Structure formats: C-alpha cells, structure tokens
C-alpha cells in the first residue's frame, strides 16, 4: 500500500480536533502527502426586516457569508493547525452543512484518507441523531480516521499495537490490507481479532456456536498477514460476545495504538436505528479508529454542485 497522498482533515477548533490533527500529521509522509485542512462555517441565519404580524413567510439570510469571516477563519487555521513535520498544506473554508461539505470536498479532492474528531457521545440519543463523524463515516467514499478525546488515561503498551477486527468478509479483507501496511510502517504488533457470537438463529431455532469453528479461518488470516517485513509476528485472538464491546475491551487490554476495521456500508432506516459495529466502536474507543470501506459498498459519487460553494485556499 502506498502512503496516503491526499489527506483531508476536518477542523472545528475543539480540543478533540487538535488531537485528531496530530494523528493526521503522523500519517503524512514528507514529499508524498498533501494535507488539506477544512473548516465549515455553519450558517448564522437571521430574518430579513421588516416582518409583520400575519406575514405568510419570513426570509432569512446568512450574516456570516462574507469574505471577512473567511479570512479570519483562515488565519486562525494557520495558527492552530500548523503541521509539526514537513508537509504540503492547503487551508479551505466552506459554508453549509458540516458533514455534507466535508464529504463533498473529499470527493472533489479524491482524498484517500479523511480525518475527523468524534465527540464520543453514547446511548440512544447518539444512535438516533448521530454526530458529524458518524454522518461522514456513512457517506464518505474513502477511509475515515476518527479520534475523540480520551475520558480516562489509556493503557500504554511497550510497543505500538494495531488491532484488526475481522468477520472474514470482503470489507474486513480491505481493512486488513491497510492494517498490515500501517503495522509494518509503524513497527507495530498486528493483532487480528474475531468475535464469535454465543449463538445463532437457524430455522427459528437458537443454536449454540462452537468457537472452534472459527479458529481455522482466523489462523488462515493470520498466516496470510504474517511476513518477514513485519517487525513482530502477526497474532490472532478469538473472543465471544457482542462484537463492538469485545473490540473495545480487547483494544484497551492490549494498549492499542490504532484500530483498523471494515464497514459494510449498509444504508436505510434499519441501519440508522441499529448502527454498524464500526459506528459503535468509533466514538467509544480510547484510541484512533480507522474505518475502511470495501469498494463494492462505496456509495455513488455526489452530483456536481454549482451553487452555494465558497472555498478559500492558501
């Protein structure tokens, strides 16, 4: 796998975003990577005057949509988001819905990595409303790296550790290519994790699952990932239970530096309410989470937009 050549970082000036920016810089390769930093200015809508009682409708306008506000944002980005290593950088501002503008710009740039902060909300409210990071994950056509501020000090491993959860699907295979490459470049341990369920529903009957059924497939995947170019031999772990909970628990136990996992890219109301394993892990893990989509499940390109776009680059 080649180094990331075009990285788009979503900047919102939060502490969470500052930590995510450090992760974006760590994946930028001097002379090979161009880092794009984007801040989306959300509309500040006020009603036009005059308005009167009984008026059928009120027209609104965006008081922030002017060149002066963009220049102020650009200057702030240059000060706050200055890479700590040699790297080509471009700064951008846009106006509109945050997740929509991030995804559209990633498409226009042909980004091969999108980095966002995840604020780590949990519970039913997060499942129903989602965050910017979750919305971006669902719609982006490239890998998404999400990182949120840690609520507790993480366990620090003596060696960097990359955890690759797998369900033996095509999506997991795509994530495995990225995880192996990053483990090689980081000089990290690569741990391949499969979480087996306690039972499955077969012909309206609950059938207990023997975890030994998965061991051969897991060992085959470990052998394929192993190789002399890795600093440490690839490892495998078999766990049982809820997939998201076991991934988070294992990552904390081994002092994980990075989780790399696939997303099946499902859409529709059922997925919105239930969520995918990746969406449950992303806002709760105490380390960065890189979500890789299988090409087969990538959404169609967004239509060209010719109106309402404001971009500033320096």
Tell me phi and psi for residue 176, to 5 degrees: -60, -35
Spatial separation of the C-alpha atoms in residues 275 and 280, rounded to whole Å: 7
Segments in the chain forming alpha helices (H): 15-26, 67-80, 98-109, 124-129, 132-139, 170-186, 212-225, 243-254, 269-274, 277-281
Domains, the chain:
1-141+299-314 (3.40.50.620), 152-297 (3.40.50.620)
The model's pLDDT over 30-71, given as tens digits with 9 standing for 90+, comes to 888 999 999 998 766 555 665 555 555 655 555 555 556 788
pLDDT at 47: 57
State pLDDT tens for residues 256-300.
999 999 986 444 433 333 347 888 888 888 899 999 986 644 454
Find the angle CA(147)-CA(128)-CA(130) to the nearest 5 degrees: 25
Model confidence, pTM: 0.78
Would you say how long the chain is, in residues? 314
Half-sphere exposure of 177 (CA within 13 A, CB side): 12
Phi first, then psi: give them for residue 163, nearest 5 degrees: -105, 125
DSSP 3-state assignment of 43? coil
């Amino acid at each position: 796998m080649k180094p990331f050549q075009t990285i788009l970082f979503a900047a919102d000036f939060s502490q969470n975003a500052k930590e995510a920016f450090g992760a974006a810089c760590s994946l930028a390769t001097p002379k090979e990577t161009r880092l794009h930093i984007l801040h989306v200015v959300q509309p500040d809508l006020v009603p036009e005057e005059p308005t009167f009682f009984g008026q059928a409708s009120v027209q609104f306008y965006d008081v922030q949509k002017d060149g002066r506000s963009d220049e102020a944002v650009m200057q702030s980005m240059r000060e706050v988001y200055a890479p700590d290593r040699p790297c080509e950088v471009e700064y951008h501002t846009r106006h509109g819905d945050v997740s929509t503008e991030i995804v559209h710009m990633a498409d226009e740039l042909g980004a091969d990595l999108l980095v966002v902060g995840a604020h780590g909300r949990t519970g039913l409210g997060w499942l129903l409303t989602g965050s910017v990071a979750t919305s971006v994950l669902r719609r982006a056509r490239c890998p998404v790296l999400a990182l949120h501020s840690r609520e507790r000090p993480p366990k620090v491993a003596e060696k960097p550790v990359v955890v690759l959860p797998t369900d033996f699907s095509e999506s997991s295979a795509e994530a495995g290519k990225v995880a192996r490459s990053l483990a090689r470049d980081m000089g990290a341990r690569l741990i391949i994790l499969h979480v087996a369920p306690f039972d499955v529903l077969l012909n309206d009957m609950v059938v207990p699952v023997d975890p030994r059924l998965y061991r051969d497939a897991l060992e085959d995947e470990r052998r394929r990932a192993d190789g002399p170019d890795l600093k440490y031999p690839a490892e495998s772990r078999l766990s049982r239970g809820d997939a998201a909970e076991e991934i988070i628990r294992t990552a904390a136990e081994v002092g994980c530096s990075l989780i790399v996992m696939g997303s099946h890219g499902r859409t529709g109301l059922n997925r919105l309410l239930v969520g995918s394993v990746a969406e449950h892990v992303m806002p709760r893990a105490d380390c960065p989470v890189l979500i890789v989509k299988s090409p087969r499940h990538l959404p169609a390109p967004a239509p060209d937009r010719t109106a309402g776009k404001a971009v500033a680059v320096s």
